[in-house]
């Protein structure tokens, strides 16, 4: 699986909560996580694109491939 290059860092995995905070920096961790989950569920095709990677909504870590998919649908934070 390819690594994901973000702003000169190679990401092996990322916690979903950390990604949520990057997208919603002015929110609490709990609110940011809920908002990211909402975006994943409401963005057409995103959940379907994540499923073949083994994505499950309760998982806490995101793989590089899952991050690439999220960034392609939502843009980088």
Look at the block and give the residue holding tokens 């909560």: 17
Of the two residues 77 and 2, the one the predictor is more confident about is 77
- pLDDT tens figures, 12-32: 789 999 999 999 999 999 999
**pLDDT value for 7:** 58
- pLDDT tens figures, 30-56: 999 999 999 999 999 999 999 999 999
- pLDDT tens figures, 4-14: 555 556 667 89
Residue 54, both tokens = 């083994």
Q: In percent, how much of the chain has pLDDT > 70?
A: 86
Residue 65, both tokens = 């491939």
Report whether pLDDT(72) > 60: yes
State phi, psi for 55 to the nearest 5 degrees: -65, 135
């Amino acid at each position: 699986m390819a690594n994901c290059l973000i702003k000169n860092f190679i990401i092996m995995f990322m916690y979903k909560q950390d990604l949520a905070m990057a997208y919603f920096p002015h929110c609490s961790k709990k609110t940011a996580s809920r908002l990211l989950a909402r975006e994943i569920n409401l963005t057409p095709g995103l959940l379907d694109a994540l499923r073949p990677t083994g994505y499950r909504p309760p998982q806490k870590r995101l793989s590089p491939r899952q991050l690439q998919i999220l960034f392609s649908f939502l843009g980088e934070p």
